[in-house]
Each structure stands twice: as structure tokens, then as C-alpha cells.
RNA sequence: GCCGAUGUGGCGAAAUGGCAGACGCAACGGACUUAAAAUCCGUUGGGCUUUUAAAAGGCCCGUGCCGGUUCGAGUCCGGCCAUCGGCACCA
């Protein structure tokens, strides 16, 4: 014998064996409609994981948490007769791969290939039942051909506000279609990250730093591709309602979209032709507007600034431009600003009010200009105090508190047209008045910005666009895919010029036309991968119509039936994908307007020290080490036993051991070790009827496990199976039928162990049963739980004082009589006045004295 | 500041308004063993108390804090506190 630690059961032999069998027999392949073995009678179930970004570090224990949950559900649903689509793929374009490539000097295509191989081997080792025939990779030209194709659909569409839908650009009747395309080029202030040498989307900037790498980001105007996601703001917001998503994620997304309702008001400028438009949610406070503030970048500043103020204004604007996003949004700092020298007229009272510029007004939101109402807005109040501007209260609070600084709703005062009205009424009335006078109108504003869609990086999808005579134009579909040139030097240039521009031959598309050299962002590939999974090999279409209708359509809810992944994508992937989906839906390519009907977020797994896992803390758990020691079935079960799926929870090696012990006990329930140290089927196993108690616990376990899997309460399902094993472990005879049932219940959790035991049972009992993976899920019969006697709890004033065995058939009156006749209870209520007796049938009697 | 989630033993946790702490970990005791590991059995929220003692009971307190609804509250309602997460000069 070697001196390696003896395994509690031979998982190291069993697990690779069954993985090889599954692969060989392709048991988890889901045929499409029209394909061989497709069964049109079964309902479909599409269960999707967020596909991983294959980093160099390999899987960590957080990935398999969600993957195990979906795998259990997928196996369960198959056993319940569903056609289950459960695919996996690789989101492999993007910054980290490229950063890593630059650092290691290896081409990103090579490192990506290696990382994918590593991830795939790790996932296979955990025994996930993915349909690997559907594997996709976003960096594969056969895949991104269609990413580029979808971009063309977006480019060749516009948003028709009348139909509230995306339509082909050919239906646009205006002069210049380029103004309304859903993909357009604009010179806008963007998030430029010098360190990464690229621009970033708002969603990719966190606290003024790049989400990836944490490098400083500055605002800088650049010519970039944008996607008109803002046109869909209202639908993206409204259609959240119908989705079965965690409330928190919906809220995060609706806050990001940030709808606010108010009015746009035009102010005349003293001695100028131009009008100044501001957006406000509080038109009812118009009378209290004692100044206007423009964003320093506001285009009107140049026109209205007076000679004396010009130097101060210019200096202020330069200072603002130099500031990083982080400095500018620092809340702690004092308000700053400069007077432009110009005045506007408040349309409500015709007062002349000064126009200032200040960096607390953002050029990107609303109209980039605000009416300063210092009495009822905290920021305006700070500003007015700092620069000694007049403060006029126009809302009286309904409770006893000072009017100055009151930002809530109250009663309008000092406002002739609306005096005495509630704020809500006042808003309505003054908006109507503004509209009548042509001074403004009701308006809705969104925080959501258009999606900055180009990157100055190498490792991404090239745009299917060429430039000719200063104008962009789409390539033909038959020119796809546009494959990037092989580049030895793919480093960012740092100047904002994309690395692809270095490939002069590639860029030269024709005599007159040059290729677009920017690439698409990381998110492009993941915006539609769930569609490609439905029909991954199709080279005629991004997804076949029938396949799309089957997997993404169907009865309500339809679409992806369950999508599991982390919260970190709440406003990135999940918003972008919904946007693309809606465009494709409007253009008639898809069955449903929403992609993901039900979303579940798995909780973060912390290190044993209760801290976030990180290299620097040294508390990272590597799945491979756990599997080496305890086997993958134990790993899977532990991930699920830790606690509720959606909860944040710390890892515990001891906990893994406990679950491993449970599996070993289940193994020994059926197997014994002989003299030679070999495992063989236990002699206690018999083809006999279970006794009453065994029957009861078997059916109770079927019920609990079935319901708990449906509700994703995997931890309590495992608890119940532990109770089952504990109940049988010392039985004289182990009834075969109960064991068969149990193995099927445990199979989704521990597929290798149960497959092996099932095979052993088949060999001994030869009752013509096939592979466990193809078994039907067992049903349960409530009759087996019902007992002749129940234990009735007797309470006095809500406190448990005794328990009495009662027949299940006992009436309420009989229960009451029995309780009152009980000597202990008699003692307690003796001499007291019984005021009330509450009876809960078959459960409890409460005597109130 | 705003929004959201969470708060139960030494730890991870469980409980359709009806016996709080299932299941697991850790700890302690025992069996097996030359010994250890493994395995199996038992005890395990806190305090008080009855019995010579053990066995077995009994009483009180206990689900972040304060109040309410109810025969009965971890669960429902109101108010606070703490931790975590998100958003944040969004007009």
C-alpha cells in the first residue's frame, strides 16, 4: 500500500470514469427542432450561466457556485422530462486578455486559447452537464461575423418616436439619415484613460477610475462611435416591471436609467437673441429662481460672457477641464463658480437674474443649465451663500420647519400664479402656463447616456465600416467577417489612434476608402451570445428562425427561463443585452422583447477569514485543490450546502469535510469494504419492501428535495438527504427501492457517485434499468406521511406546557377536552377563569386564562 | 445624503403567524484500536432549580434595540441602531 491518505470512497476513480462516459455518449446534447432525437412533446427549459471571461488565473470558487446551481436544475429538469438547453462558452475579447498579453509578450490569441483550454478542463472536471456541442467563443470569426452583422442592423436602423420602435433606416423620411442612425459618430467629451490608451463607457468608470486596472480617467472630447441606447430608455425602464428579477437589480437598473419628470423652461437673455433652456423637476419653484448656472462647457457661454468677465471665465473653464472626474465630483469641496456678466429674465416675474458658470452643473445632464432656486435646493443654497446671491422662499413646508433649505413638497407662496396650491398642483399649473405662453413645456429626462461603443484597442471586433470622403458607410453583409490584421505590435498608441491604424495595408480598403480602425468594446460579444447558443453552427443566419422560436419563444414567460450570474453586471451586460435584444426584436428577428425572464444572482463567496477573496490577502480557494482532496461531488455539494444561493457567505474547509463525510456515508450505505480492501455491494441490500418508517422518510425526502430544487433552496435539500442517510445507516436490511429513489434524488447534486452506485445496483439486481441520468424523477405520495397519531402541543397563555398524543382523527372538541383534562394543565389553570381556548386542528391547543 | 439587502448558538445556517436553533461544523464524553486516523454512539443557547446522587424533570430568559397588532411574533406593523452593497453636485 502507498501511504497516501486513504480516500473515504474512490471518487478519484469514479469521477473521471463517468465524465468520459457522458462525453462519449453525448447524454447532455439537446437536439434542436428538426434534428435527430428531438422530442416535440416535451416542454423546453433554457437555463443559462453568465459565460466566463477566461482569465489566466483559472476558475475560482465563485464561478462554480452559480454553475453548480444551474447544473443541478438542468439535470433535475431533464429527469422531469424537459428539453433542457444548458450551454457554455467564452467571452474572450476584452481588456484583461490584452493587458495580460502586453505584459507577458504573448499574442492575446495565444493566451486566450490557453486560458479557454484551462477553463474548459476545469469545468469538465466538475462534471457540469453542458451541451458542449454548443460551445461558442466570441473571438471566433464564425461568431463575431454575426456580432458585426448585428452592428450593421443597428447602424442601418433608426428609432421612430411615433411607433416607439427601431425601424430600418429606409423608412426615415428626413434629409440626413446619419443624424438618426442607432449607431452614429459624434465628437463628445468621453472618458479617456491614458494608461489603458482607450476611451471607456460611463458604465466602465468607477469613482473616476477605470473599472479594469483602476487607472485615472479624464474627460476629453473625441470623435467616437455611439449607440443610441437613450432612445430605448423608456422601454428599458418600463419593461423591467414584467421581469422576474431580484428587486435590487431592477432598482439598480432603473436608477441608472434615472428617469425624472419635470419641465424645460426657456429664459430670455438680456441684450441677446439666444434663449437659455434649463431643465427642472420643480417648475413650481420658478419664482424662487434668483440666478442661472451653466456648466462651464456649455456652448452658450462664449456668446454671452461680457468683456470684463472674459478672463475670469476662461481661467475657470481651463481649471475645470484640467480636473479629473474624481476631483470634480468630490462632494466635500466648496462650491466654485464665476459670474459671466450676463443676465437672464425670469419668465415668471420678469426679474433680471445673473448667469453664472459652475462645475457643479454637468454638461451631460438635462440641458447643461439650471435655474438656481437657493431656498429649496441644497446645492443652490450653498452656491448662493458662497457668492451672496438672493434667496427667496416660494414653498411653505406643511410641518413646522424653516422654509429656507426645504426641498420637499409643500404649499406655494410668493408665486402669484400658483399661491396656495400644493407643490404637485403648482407643478401642473405652472407647466401648463409655460406651455400656453410658449416659454417651456413638460419634459422627461434620463440620466442614461448614449453608449460609447468604440475602443482604441486591438483585441476586439473590428467595425464593418469604411470611411470615404469623410463619411462612413457600412460594408456589405457578404464582406463579413471583418478579420483584424495580424499585428506584431498591438500595444495601444497612447495618442487615441487605434492600434489597427498601424496596419496600413489592412486599413486601405480601396483606392478611396479606409477602414474604421477602432474596435468594439468588451460587451459586444456578450450582448447576444444567449441567442447564438440556440443555433451555434448556423452560417446562414445569426440564429435560425425555428431554433430561436423554440428556445427563446414559447409560452410565457419564454426567453431564457433562468439566468444565473453575479450582481456586477447589473448596469453593464444586462442593460446592453436588453438594448440589442429590443433592436433585433423591433426589426422582426426575435420572438420576445425581453431576453432574460428570470434572473438570479448568486452571492459572493468570501475567504475563510470572512474577507473578500484576493491574492493580496492570500485567502483564495482554488477549486482544483478542493477536488483533489475531497472529489468534485463533495465540492459541488458543499458549494450548495453553504447557505442560500443568493447570500454572501464565507468558505470553510471544515464544511467541505462535513459534506464529504455525508457522501461517504451514502456510499457506505450501499457498499462495504471486503478483506482485500475492495469495495463491494453491501450484503444488507435486499429487494424487500421498506417498512412504514422508511417509506415515510423516503416520500418526505422526495417531496422536500423536489420542492427545494424548484425554489433553488439547495442547502435544505441536502439537509433532508442527510436526514435520510442518517435514518438508514444502521438499518438491518437496506431496501433496494428506497435506495434507487434516493440515488435519483441525489444525482443532480452528486452525479458521479450516484451513477457509480446505480451501475453497481444494476449489475447485482439485473432489473433491466438503464443509466441513472435517463431515469425519471420520482413522485411522492402524501399518504405515506400521514400518521395515526400526532403530538398535540398544549399551551397556556401561548407558552408550551405539555404535549399529548392524539389520534389524527380527533376533532377540535376532543382536542380541547383532552387538553383541559391533562393533569398538568389542570394544575396550571386551577382556580383561574378560562377566557378562551384556541384550537389549531391536529397541532395545538392554547388555553387563555 | 439617497436607495437596497442583512442582523437567530462558538461558527455556516433552519423554521406556510403555532414546540426557535432542523442539517452541518467545532467542542466535549464514550465505543472500537497497542496507539492514532477513520468509523459509530451520546451531550452541547444562557441562567436558576428539584432529587443523597445519577437518571429524569421543573421554572425563567433568549432571534440587533424600543414599541404595537395577536390567544400566540424570528416571522406582520411603526420607530431606531449596526453591518454590507449600490448610487451620488442628476437640477
Closest residue by C-alpha to C1' distance, nucleotide B86? A252
Tell me what pLDDT residue A368 has: 93
Candidate from A191-195, A243-247, A770-774 with smallest mean pLDDT = A191-195
Provide, in whole angstroms, the distance separating residue A848's CA from nucleotide B49's C1'.
Answer: 26
Q: What confidence tens digit (pLDDT) does each residue in A439-492 have? A: 999 999 999 999 999 999 899 999 999 999 999 999 999 999 999 998 888 888
In sequence order, what are the residues at sequence separation of 6 or more whose Cβ sits closer than 8 angstroms to the Cβ of residue A265? A277, A278, A280, A283, A286, A347, A371, A434, A439, A440
Provide, in whole angstroms, the distance separating residue A779's CA from nucleotide B18's C1'.
Answer: 29
Helix (H) or strand (E) holding A440: strand A440-446
Checking each nucleotide's C1' against the CA of A279, the nearest proves to be B91
d(C-alpha A837, C-alpha A834), whole Å? 8
User: Which one, of A295, A270, A436, lies nearest residue A353 by Cα?
Assistant: A270
User: Which one, of A383, A384, A407, lies nearest residue A394 by Cα?
Assistant: A407
Q: What confidence tens digit (pLDDT) does each residue in A413-436 have? A: 999 999 999 999 999 999 999 999
Checking each nucleotide's C1' against the CA of A646, the nearest proves to be B5
Tell me what pLDDT residue A427 has: 94
Provide, in whole angstroms, the distance separating residue A378's CA from nucleotide B69's C1'.
Answer: 40
Checking each nucleotide's C1' against the CA of A846, the nearest proves to be B71
For residues A410 and A396, the answer to whether their CB atoms sit within 8 Å is yes
Provide, in whole angstroms, the distance separating residue A455's CA from nucleotide B91's C1'.
Answer: 32
Provide, in whole angstroms, the distance separating residue A728's CA from nucleotide B40's C1'.
Answer: 14
Q: DSSP character for A87?
A: -
Closest residue by C-alpha to C1' distance, nucleotide B25? A655
Is A353 exposed, middle or buried (CB count within 10 Å of its CB: 0-12, 13-18, 19+)? buried
d(C-alpha A657, C-alpha A185), whole Å? 58
Helix, strand or coil, per DSSP, at residue A671: strand
Is A40 exposed, middle or buried (CB count within 10 Å of its CB: 0-12, 13-18, 19+)? exposed
Checking each nucleotide's C1' against the CA of A377, the nearest proves to be B91
Mean pLDDT for A349-368 is: 92
Checking each nucleotide's C1' against the CA of A802, the nearest proves to be B19
d(C-alpha A420, C-alpha A426), whole Å? 9
Checking each nucleotide's C1' against the CA of A330, the nearest proves to be B89
Candidate from A218-232, A285-299, A658-672 with smallest mean pLDDT = A218-232
Provide, in whole angstroms, the distance separating residue A730's CA from nucleotide B59's C1'.
Answer: 38
Closest residue by C-alpha to C1' distance, nucleotide B41? A730
Provide, in whole angstroms, the distance separating residue A129's CA from nucleotide B74's C1'.
Answer: 39
Provide, in whole angstroms, the distance separating residue A379's CA from nucleotide B3's C1'.
Answer: 20
Tell me what pLDDT residue A723 has: 95
Helix, strand or coil, per DSSP, at residue A424: helix
In sequence order, what are the residues at sequence separation of 6 or more whose Cβ sits closer than 8 angstroms to the Cβ of residue A739? A669, A670, A685, A757, A761
Provide, in whole angstroms, the distance separating residue A16's CA from nucleotide B35's C1'.
Answer: 37
Closest residue by C-alpha to C1' distance, nucleotide B38? A8
Provide, in whole angstroms, the distance separating residue A658's CA from nucleotide B28's C1'.
Answer: 18
Checking each nucleotide's C1' against the CA of A363, the nearest proves to be B90
Checking each nucleotide's C1' against the CA of A719, the nearest proves to be B23
Buried b / exposed e across A576-586, counting CB within 10 Å, b at 16+? bbbbbbbbbbb
Tell me what pLDDT residue A556 has: 65
Tell me what pLDDT residue A114 has: 93
Tell me what pLDDT residue A615 has: 80
Provide, in whole angstroms, the distance separating residue A831's CA from nucleotide B60's C1'.
Answer: 23
Q: What confidence tens digit (pLDDT) does each residue in A627-640 have? A: 999 999 999 999 99
d(C-alpha A461, C-alpha A500), whole Å? 11
Provide, in whole angstroms, the distance separating residue A125's CA from nucleotide B40's C1'.
Answer: 33
Number of alpha carbons in the 13 Å side-chain half-sphere of residue A546: 8
Provide, in whole angstroms, the distance separating residue A656's CA from nucleotide B11's C1'.
Answer: 14
Residue that wins the pLDDT comparison between A227 and A94 = A227
Q: What confidence tens digit (pLDDT) does each residue in A782-834 have? A: 888 777 777 888 888 888 888 888 888 888 888 888 888 888 888 887 777 88
Provide, in whole angstroms, the distance separating residue A371's CA from nucleotide B28's C1'.
Answer: 73
Provide, in whole angstroms, the distance separating residue A839's CA from nucleotide B20's C1'.
Answer: 21
Provide, in whole angstroms, the distance separating residue A693's CA from nucleotide B56's C1'.
Answer: 28
Tell me what pLDDT residue A269 has: 95
Checking each nucleotide's C1' against the CA of A798, the nearest proves to be B72
Mean pLDDT for A299-322 is: 91
d(C-alpha A806, C-alpha A789), whole Å? 5
Provide, in whole angstroms, the distance separating residue A126's CA from nucleotide B31's C1'.
Answer: 38
Tell me what pLDDT residue A535 has: 97
Checking each nucleotide's C1' against the CA of A335, the nearest proves to be B89
d(C-alpha A38, C-alpha A679), whole Å? 40
Mean pLDDT for A664-684 is: 89
Most confidently predicted of A103-112, A197-206, A274-283, A768-777: A274-283
Checking each nucleotide's C1' against the CA of A285, the nearest proves to be B91
Query: How would residue A749 be classed by pLDDT, with cut points 50, 70 and 90?
Result: very high
Query: How would residue A732 be classed by pLDDT, with cut points 50, 70 and 90?
Result: confident
Checking each nucleotide's C1' against the CA of A327, the nearest proves to be B89
Checking each nucleotide's C1' against the CA of A5, the nearest proves to be B37
Tell me what pLDDT residue A325 has: 64
Provide, in whole angstroms, the distance separating residue A637's CA from nucleotide B46's C1'.
Answer: 34
Closest residue by C-alpha to C1' distance, nucleotide B11? A652
Checking each nucleotide's C1' against the CA of A718, the nearest proves to be B23
d(C-alpha A836, C-alpha A831), whole Å? 15
Assessment of whether the complete model's pTM goes beyond 0.90:
yes
For residues A670 and A682, the answer to whether their CB atoms sit within 8 Å is yes
Between the alpha carbon of residue A184 and those of residues A225, A253, A448, A477, the distances in Å are 6, 24, 17, 19
Query: How would residue A326 be classed by pLDDT, with cut points 50, 70 and 90?
Result: low
Provide, in whole angstroms, the distance separating residue A719's CA from nucleotide B23's C1'.
Answer: 5
User: Which one, of A131, A119, A117, A125, lies nearest residue A18 by Cα?
Assistant: A125
CA angle A206, A208, A213 (to 5 degrees): 65
Q: What's the length of chain A?
A: 849
Mean pLDDT for A48-70 is: 91
Chain-centre distance of CA A541, in angstroms?
Answer: 27
> In whole numbers, what is the pLDDT of chain A averaged over residues?
91
H helices, E strands: number in chain A: 25, 36
User: Which one, of A528, A446, A452, A444, lies nearest residue A233 by Cα?
Assistant: A446
Mean pLDDT for A276-298 is: 95
CA end-to-end span of chain A: 72
Provide, in whole angstroms, the distance separating residue A753's CA from nucleotide B21's C1'.
Answer: 31
Query: How would residue A4 be classed by pLDDT, with cut points 50, 70 and 90?
Result: very low
d(C-alpha A766, C-alpha A799), whole Å? 56
Mean pLDDT for A373-379 is: 93
Provide, in whole angstroms, the distance separating residue A791's CA from nucleotide B22's C1'.
Answer: 18
Mean pLDDT for A725-737 is: 90
Percent of chain A with pLDDT over 90: 69
Provide, in whole angstroms, the distance separating residue A752's CA from nucleotide B33's C1'.
Answer: 33
Checking each nucleotide's C1' against the CA of A722, the nearest proves to be B23
Candidate from A102-106, A269-273, A586-590 with smallest mean pLDDT = A102-106
Mean pLDDT for A108-112 is: 91
Percent of chain A with pLDDT over 70: 98
Q: Which bases along strand B come within 7 Å of a protein CB atom?
A: 3-5, 11-15, 18-20, 22-26, 38-41, 59-60, 71-73, 84-91
User: Which one, of A818, A814, A816, lies nearest residue A804 by Cα?
Assistant: A818
Checking each nucleotide's C1' against the CA of A378, the nearest proves to be B89
Tell me what pLDDT residue A3 has: 32
Mean pLDDT for A488-503 is: 86
Query: How would residue A401 be classed by pLDDT, with cut points 50, 70 and 90?
Result: confident
pLDDT at A2 over 60: no
Between the alpha carbon of residue A710 and those of residues A129, A255, A703, A833, the distances in Å are 18, 31, 11, 49
Checking each nucleotide's C1' against the CA of A847, the nearest proves to be B71
Amino acid at each position: 500500500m502507498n501511504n497516501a491518505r486513504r480516500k473515504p470512497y474512490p471518487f478519484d476513480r469514479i469521477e473521471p470514469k463517468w465524465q468520459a462516459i457522458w462525453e462519449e455518449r453525448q447524454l447532455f446534447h439537446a437536439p434542436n427542432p428538426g434534428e435527430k432525437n428531438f422530442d416535440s412533446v416535451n416542454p423546453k427549459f433554457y437555463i443559462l450561466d453568465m459565460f466566463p471571461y477566461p482569465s489566466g488565473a483559472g476558475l475560482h470558487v465563485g464561478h462554480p457556485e452559480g454553475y453548480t446551481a444551474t447544473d443541478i436544475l438542468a439535470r433535475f429538469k431533464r429527469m422531469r422530462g424537459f428539453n433542457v438547453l444548458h450551454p457554455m462558452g467564452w467571452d474572450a475579447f476584452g481588456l484583461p486578455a490584452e493587458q495580460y498579453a502586453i505584459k507577458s509578450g504573448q499574442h492575446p490569441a495565444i493566451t486566450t486559447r490557453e486560458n479557454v483550454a484551462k477553463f474548459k478542463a476545469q469545468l469538465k472536471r466538475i462534471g457540469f452537464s453542458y451541451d458542449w456541442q454548443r460551445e461558442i467563443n466570441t473571438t471566433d470569426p464564425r461568431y463575431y461575423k454575426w456580432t458585426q452583422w448585428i452592428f450593421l442592423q443597428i447602424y442601418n436602423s433608426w428609432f421612430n418616436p411615433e411607433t416607439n420602435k427601431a425601424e430600418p433606416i429606409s423608412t426615415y423620411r428626413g434629409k440626413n439619415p446619419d443624424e438618426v442612425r442607432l449607431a452614429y459618430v459624434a465628437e463628445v467629451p468621453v472618458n479617456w484613460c491614458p494608461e489603458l490608451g482607450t476611451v471607456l463607457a460611463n458604465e466602465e468608470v468607477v469613482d473616476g477610475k477605470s473599472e479594469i486596472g483602476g487607472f485615472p480617467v479624464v474627460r476629453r472630447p473625441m470623435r467616437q462611435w455611439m449607440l443610441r441606447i437613450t432612445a430605448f430608455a423608456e422601454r428599458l425602464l418600463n419593461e423591467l416591471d414584467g421581469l422576474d428579477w431580484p428587486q435590487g437589480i431592477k432598482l439598480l437598473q432603473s436608477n441608472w436609467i434615472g428617469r425624472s419628470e419635470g419641465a424645460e423652461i426657456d429664459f430670455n437673455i438680456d441684450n441677446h437673441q439666444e434663449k437659455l433652456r434649463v431643465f427642472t423637476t420643480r417648475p413650481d419653484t420658478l419664482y424662487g429662481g434668483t440666478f442661472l448656472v451653466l456648466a462651464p462647457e456649455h456652448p452658450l457661454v462664449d456668446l454671452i460672457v461680457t468683456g470684463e468677465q472674459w478672463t475670469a471665465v476662461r481661467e475657470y473653464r481651463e481649471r475645470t477641464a484640467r480636473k479629473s472626474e474624481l476631483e470634480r465630483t468630490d462632494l466635500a469641496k466648496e462650491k466654485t463658480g464665476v459670474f459671466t456678466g450676463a443676465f437672464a429674465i425670469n419668465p415668471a416675474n420678469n426679474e433680471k437674474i445673473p448667469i453664472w458658470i459652475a462645475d457643479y452643473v454637468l454638461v451631460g445632464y438635462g440641458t447643461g443649465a439650471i435655474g438656481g432656486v437657493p431656498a429649496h435646493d441644497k446645492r443652490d443654497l450653498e452656491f448662493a451663500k458662497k457668492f451672496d446671491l438672493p434667496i427667496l422662499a416660494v414653498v411653505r413646508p406643511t410641518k413646522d420647519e424653516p422654509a429656507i433649505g426645504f426641498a420637499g413638497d409643500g404649499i406655494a407662496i410668493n408665486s402669484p400664479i400658483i399661491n396656495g396650491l400644493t407643490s404637485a398642483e403648482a407643478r401642473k399649473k405652472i407647466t401648463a402656463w409655460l406651455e400656453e405662453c410658449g416659454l417651456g413645456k413638460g419634459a422627461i429626462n434620463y440620466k442614461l447616456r448614449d453608449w460609447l461603443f468604440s475602443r482604441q484597442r486591438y483585441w476586439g471586433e473590428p467595425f464593418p465600416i469604411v470611411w470615404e470622403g469623410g463619411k462612413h458607410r457600412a460594408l456589405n453583409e457578404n464582406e463579413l467577417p471583418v478579420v483584424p490584421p495580424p499585428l506584431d505590435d498591438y500595444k495601444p498608441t497612447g495618442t487615441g489612434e487605434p492600434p489597427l491604424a498601424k496596419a496600413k495595408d489592412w486599413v486601405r480598403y480601396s483606392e478611396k476608402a479606409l477602414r474604421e480602425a477602432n474596435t468594439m468594446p468588451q460587451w459586444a460579444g456578450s450582448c447576444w451570445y444567449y441567442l447564438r447558443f440556440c443555433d451555434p453552427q448556423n452560417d446562414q443566419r445569426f440564429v435560425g428562425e425555428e431554433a430561436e422560436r423554440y428556445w427563446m419563444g414559447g409560452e410565457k414567460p419564454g426567453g431564457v427561463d433562468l439566468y444565473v450570474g453575479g450582481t456586477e453586471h447589473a448596469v453593464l451586460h444586462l442593460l446592453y443585452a436588453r438594448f440589442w435584444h429590443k433592436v433585433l426584436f423591433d426589426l422582426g428577428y426575435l420572438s420576445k422583447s425581453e431576453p432574460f425572464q428570470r434572473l438570479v444572482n448568486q452571492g459572493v463567496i468570501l475567504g475563510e477569514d470572512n474577507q473578500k477573496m484576493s491574492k493580496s490577502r492570500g485567502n483564495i480557494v482554488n477549486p482544483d485543490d478542493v477536488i483533489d482532496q475531497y472529489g468534485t461531488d463533495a465540492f459541488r455539494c458543499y458549494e450548495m450546502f453553504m447557505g442560500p444561493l443568493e447570500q454572501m457567505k464565507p468558505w470553510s474547509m471544515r464544511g467541505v469535510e462535513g459534506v464529504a463525510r455525508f457522501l461517504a456515508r451514502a456510499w457506505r450505505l450501499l457498499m462495504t469494504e471486503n478483506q482485500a480492501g475492495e469495495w463491494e455491494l453491501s450484503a444488507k441490500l435486499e429487494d424487500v419492501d421498506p417498512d412504514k418508517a422508511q417509506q415515510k422518510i423516503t416520500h418526505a425526502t422526495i417531496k422536500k428535495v423536489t420542492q427545494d430544487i424548484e425554489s433553488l433552496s439547495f442547502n435544505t435539500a441536502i439537509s433532508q438527504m442527510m436526514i435520510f442517510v442518517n435514518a438508514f445507516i444502521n438499518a438491518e436490511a437496506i431496501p433496494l427501492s428506497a435506495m434507487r429513489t434516493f440515488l435519483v434524488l441525489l444525482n443532480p447534486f452528486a452525479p458521479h457517485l450516484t451513477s457509480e452506485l446505480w451501475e453497481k445496483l444494476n449489475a447485482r439486481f439485473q432489473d433491466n434499468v438503464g443509466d441513472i441520468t435517463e431515469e425519471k424523477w420520482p413522485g411522492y405520495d402524501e399518504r405515506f406521511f400521514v400518521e395515526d397519531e400526532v403530538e398535540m402541543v398544549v399551551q397556556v397563555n401561548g407558552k408550551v406546557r405539555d404535549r399529548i398524543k392524539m389520534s389524527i382523527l380527533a376533532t377540535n372538541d376532543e382536542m380541547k377536552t383532552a387538553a383541559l383534562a391533562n393533569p398538568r394543565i389542570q394544575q396550571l389553570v386551577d382556580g383561574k377563569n378560562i377566557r378562551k381556548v384556541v384550537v389549531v386542528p391536529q397541532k395545538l391547543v392554547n388555553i387563555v386564562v
